[in-house]
Amino acid sequence: GRDLCRNLYGWWFDMYDPDALSKVATVDAARTIPSPPHERGTWWYDAPELLTLISQIQGIARDSLAADCRRCSEIAAIMDERSAGLSLAAHNRMLNWRMGILSRLGAPVDFFYSEDLAHPQMPDYKFYIFPNAYTMDGAQRQAVASKVRRNGAVALWIYAAGAHRPEDDTFSAANAADLTGIEFTYSPEVIETAFTLTDLSHAALVGCSPEQVQGRFNYEIYRNTVRRAVPAGGRNYQAPNLYASDPHAEMLGTFSTNGLPALALRDFGSWRSVHCATQFMAPALLRALARYAGCHVVCDSDDFIFINTSYLSVHAANGGPKRLSLPRPRSPIELYTGASFGEGVREIVTTMEKGETLTFRLS
């Protein structure tokens, strides 16, 4: 479903084990497969059930060649390669976690490098997310300003965005203010990063829960390097820190440990700047900011969403009822079952099990 919605190639590689036919693509299969180790990953797909499924997938992919598969994302995540290269390994691992949270936002996200901002063919978006823009040179800062500071767009800066300037190798609050438009106070002290939202009446926080703790791992993440999951909910610490001190900015969240600003927003009229002083935000907060930017959100249940003009695919993060909002009236048909979900509807209502995937043709 993801490949169909993102116009990617359809097949990656085969890791089929004949003893795991009933457990295809499950995490537990790797622990319970009884076949000899030398046979693992060496079999071709020859089970009739799988061949039938592959034939069905092939037909769906063939039909998609004649469909309108233009992207419909209104959110762009801007990655910076230099920042990744200059960051601690721990920060880069946390970046993987942040990417997983972006996938639970409930709306499609397009990914770019910071250099793409200056490309004339890069589309305009309503919501720009900068997960790791720690170091930005003058040309990058100019490209960011030219792209982001217009059309009423919202820019979300995560952690110490723009604090380092490579031309003179300085790290300062002034550098961060130059990029984000928000004034900061610098602190070298280590803090625990949990924070709470303080102004839930604000339009940028609609739908957020006052009880939910922000700033921590709120979903576990599986790490291949150690072959185990990092548990959710644990404490996280960081230093240095940049606290918003701009008299023209609204403070929307504060750190639990010291009461200093953790989430700040400044409205410039032509654009809006949001700074999160730590690296972690819950999907619900990202959704609220996306809606504040005017983006269409497909679902509120932290499921994985992929969508283009003609297809919608959803992978259930949890079991239960699902309500999938469509950008405009469509006639959805689930491609693998043929089930129709109405004519000219704006919403798909269904029930899914955890780990289940549904893919719809939007006619």
Q: How many whole angstroms separate alpha carbon 9 and alpha carbon 146?
A: 34
Q: Which helix (H) or strand (E) holds 263?
A: strand 261-267
Same domain, 140 and 35: no
- pLDDT 10s digits, 26-74: 444 444 444 444 444 445 556 777 788 888 989 999 999 999 999 999 9
Q: How many whole angstroms separate alpha carbon 115 and alpha carbon 254?
A: 33
Same domain, 164 and 309: no
Same domain, 207 and 60: no
In a domain, residue 348? The reply is: yes
Instruction: Look at residue 237 and give its three-state secondary structure.
Output: strand
In a domain, residue 69? The reply is: no
Amino acid at 80: D
- pLDDT 10s digits, 290-300: 999 999 999 99
Instruction: Look at residue 280 and give its three-state secondary structure.
Output: coil
Could you tell me if 179 and 242 are in contact, meaning their C-beta atoms sit under 8 angstroms apart? Answer: no
Q: What is the pLDDT, as a whole number, of residue 255?
A: 98
Could you tell me if 149 and 122 are in contact, meaning their C-beta atoms sit under 8 angstroms apart? Answer: no
List strands edge to edge, sheet with 250-255.
109-113, 75-79, 127-130, 153-158, 271-276, 261-267, 250-255, 195-197
Same domain, 249 and 315: no
Same domain, 156 and 51: no
Same domain, 233 and 180: yes
Least confident of 32-46, 66-80, 218-232, 314-328: 32-46
Q: What is the pLDDT, as a whole number, of residue 33?
A: 43
In a domain, residue 186? The reply is: yes
- pLDDT 10s digits, 119-156: 999 999 999 999 999 999 999 999 999 999 999 999 99
Q: What is the SS3 string spanning 55-114?
A: HHHHHHHHHHCCCCCCECCCEEEEECHHHHHHCCHHHHHHHHHHHHHHHCCCCCEEEEEH
Quote the number of domains for the chain. 3
Same domain, 81 and 216: yes
Q: What is the pLDDT, as a whole number, of residue 230?
A: 65
- CATH number of the domain that 120 lies in? 3.40.50.880
pTM listed for this prediction: 0.88
- The pLDDT mean for the chain works out to 87
Q: What is the pLDDT, as a whole number, of residue 15?
A: 46
List Cβ neighbours of 185 (8 Å cut-off, separation of 6 or more): 173, 242, 243, 245
What does the pLDDT average to over 214-239?
73
What does the pLDDT average to over 19-23?
45
Q: Strand 228-230 relative to strand 345-352: parallel, antiparallel, unpaired?
A: unpaired
Same domain, 192 and 278: yes
In a domain, residue 5? The reply is: no
Question: The dihedral of CA 75, 126, 178, 276: what is its sign?
Answer: negative
Of 292, 326, 350, which residue sits at a domain end? 292
Same domain, 141 and 98: yes
Same domain, 253 and 111: yes
Q: What is the pLDDT, as a whole number, of residue 99?
A: 73
Domain containing 344: what range? 304-362
